Structure 1
Amino acid sequence: MNKKYLSIFCIFFWYEAINAFDIKPSRATLDSNVGEMQVEMKMLEDGTWKLTSLLDGGSIVRREESEVFKLIDNQIHPINYRFNQRILFRKYKASADFDWQDNKVSFVENKDKGKIDFPSRILGPSSASLQLRLDFRKFDEEKIPNEIAYDVYWKGTIKNRIYEVSDDKELIQTPLGEYEAYKVSRRFEEGSKRSQIFWLAPDLDYSVIKIYDKNDREVEIKIKNFEELG
């Protein structure tokens, strides 16, 4: 398993944590075939938000990921991103700092470092999935588009991620109950074996109730517990 699996877990902290006017600090426990993870969202003293996730597999694996961002008019503005991973004796460390005055991001990926320009709208590795849910919340259900695209910082480059939305809702069984949900599939290059699918439930304010991810291995993720903080 690699870094890609961790970022997709972060979307679950939004479960019932947002109403039409605000965001609430929260903590979620996620269960999957790669172990249990804690995901937490909190407001910092300067009014920004920090999203963190921790997977602790003892001596075998440990992963920590965090992203600090501002939320302005329904749009996420990343400020910094941090990632640390250890699998047995192999370590990986990455960071990114976003300068919104000059529209540049300074990054470190293990021993590589650099600086690149970014467009007026950019998302961090953790926040792309969060923006997807925010946008679903503002759409009229009859006007949900078939495609949604974002520019996302990823490993020293800017990637254009495209999500395809199925026309019909599916009935999805979860530990929290059975819900109708929109199936949203991330588009990959033709011939790629990668797959990443989210299911968003309108009855739960478009919370993501299930994620399927296939890369080096298949991962299915479901929320186990949720609590509001403070």
Structure 2
Amino acid sequence: MRAVVAFIAGALGLVLAGEGVAATQPNNMLSTYDARYEVRRGGSDYGEAMRRLEQTAEGSYQLANETEISFLFLSDVRRYESTFDFTAEQVEPLNFSFKRSGTGRNKGIRVRFDADAQQVVDVEAEAPLPVTWHADLMDEASLLEQLRYDLAHSDETEFSYQIIDDKGANDQQRFRRMASETLKLPYGEVEAVKVERVRESKKRETIYWFAPELNYVLVKMQQRKEGDEVATLLLEQLN
């Protein structure tokens, strides 16, 4: 049985205007998309993932990332949502929520970004979180939209972002652009740029592949722990 996935939860990418054709976007805009992925582990089906980016009539962006994995009697369902503006080539988050359910303890968080007060506010408690505000602070879900845009619009090889994670805490995530590779995916064969998540510890490894011909949509992601595969995400379709 297939599920909706995601150890990926803050990680899927953007999309093109027409299938198989890269669409050029103005520097003050992001492409909207509906991307579907399958997740495998050890060559077997492990789940599915969906990530969708829409633009409101007011010009803001709404991002939804729904994930679910199912393995034997274990299940994990996660949903990340983010509303943000995109101004001067920079994501400016407005609202962020995360909800996890399934085997084990359920958890979640809803926050509001108050740029004027330079605070991240817990919506349920209506109180600011004890976090440090940064000029380019983002949430964990919208982070990948900024990374995808930066890969497409710069020649930089190193990227660093300050975020609020799904626990409501500060985190810094760093990435390194690597070489291009040809991938054979459920979607088809594509050329993709390999990007690694830079971590202090070598126990966990996360690698991303973004396809320039598809407006730098995320087409593959693999996570490994102590050398063993945790899960591999593969692009299945774009609408």
What interval of TM-score do these two structures reach, taking the shorter chain for normalisation?
Answer: 0.7 to 0.9
The unaligned stretches of length 5 or more in structure 1 are: none
Taking a change above 3 Å as real, the CA distance of residues 55 and 208 of structure 1, as seen in their structure-2 partners, is closer
Residue 173 (structure 2) aligned to one of 131, 141, 161: 161
Give the C-alpha shift of residue 57 in structure 1: 6.1
Give the C-alpha shift of residue 25 in structure 1: 3.7
Give the C-alpha shift of residue 65 in structure 1: 1.3
CA distance in 2, matches of 1:100, 1:200: 31
After superposition, give the CA deviation of every residue in 1:48-76 in whole Å (9 maximum; x if it has no partner). 11111223569944322101100112211
Give the C-alpha shift of residue 47 in structure 1: 2.4
The correspondence of residues 97-136 of structure 1 with structure 2, limited to 5 A, is 97-107=112-122, 114-136=129-151
Give the C-alpha shift of residue 163 in structure 1: 0.7
The structure richer in helix per residue is 1
Taking a change above 3 Å as real, the CA distance of residues 225 and 4 of structure 1, as seen in their structure-2 partners, is closer
3-state SS of 2:237 partner: strand
* Deviates most, 71-80 or 145-154: 145-154
Q: Are 2:222 and 2:233, in contact at CA under 8 Å, matched by a contact in 1? A: yes
CA RMSD of aligned residues (A): 2.9
Q: Which residue of 2 aligns with 1:51?
A: 63
After superposition, give the CA deviation of every residue in 1:177-204 in whole Å (9 maximum; x if it has no partner). 33332211111113x4111111122222
Q: Which residue of 2 aligns with 1:218?
A: 230
Taking a change above 3 Å as real, the CA distance of residues 108 and 217 of structure 1, as seen in their structure-2 partners, is farther
Residue 206 (structure 2) aligned to one of 188, 196, 205: 196
Q: Are 1:6 and 1:65, in contact at CA under 8 Å, matched by a contact in 2? A: no
Residue 215 (structure 2) aligned to one of 185, 201, 205: 205
Give the C-alpha shift of residue 103 in structure 1: 1.5
Give the C-alpha shift of residue 4 in structure 1: 7.7
CA distance in 1, matches of 2:213, 2:238: 17
Give the C-alpha shift of residue 89 in structure 1: 5.1
Q: Are 2:15 and 2:32, in contact at CA under 8 Å, matched by a contact in 1? A: no
Taking a change above 3 Å as real, the CA distance of residues 138 and 84 of structure 1, as seen in their structure-2 partners, is same
Q: Would you say 1:32 and 2:27 are equivalent positions? A: no
Q: Are 2:211 and 2:219, in contact at CA under 8 Å, matched by a contact in 1? A: yes
Q: Would you say 1:20 and 2:25 are equivalent positions? A: yes
CA distance in 1, matches of 2:157, 2:103: 42
Per the normalisation by structure 2, the TM-score is 0.78
After superposition, give the CA deviation of every residue in 1:145-183 in whole Å (9 maximum; x if it has no partner). 2311111112333222111122x3222222233333221
Q: Are 2:10 and 2:142, in contact at CA under 8 Å, matched by a contact in 1? A: no
Per the normalisation by structure 1, the TM-score is 0.81
Q: Would you say 1:91 and 2:96 are equivalent positions? A: no
Taking a change above 3 Å as real, the CA distance of residues 170 and 124 of structure 1, as seen in their structure-2 partners, is same
Q: Would you say 1:64 and 2:79 are equivalent positions? A: yes
3-state SS of 1:7 partner: coil
CA distance in 2, matches of 1:180, 1:40: 22
Amino acid at match of 1:73: A
3-state SS of 1:29 partner: strand
Runs of 4+ in 1 over 4 A off after TM superposition: 56-59
Q: Are 2:9 and 2:67, in contact at CA under 8 Å, matched by a contact in 1? A: no
* Deviates most, 19-28 or 54-63: 54-63
After superposition, give the CA deviation of every residue in 1:65-121 in whole Å (9 maximum; x if it has no partner). 101100112211111111111123521112221111122112479xxx834231111
CA distance in 2, matches of 1:153, 1:176: 32
The unaligned stretches of length 5 or more in structure 2 are: 18-22, 41-45
Q: Percent identity between the aligned chains?
A: 22
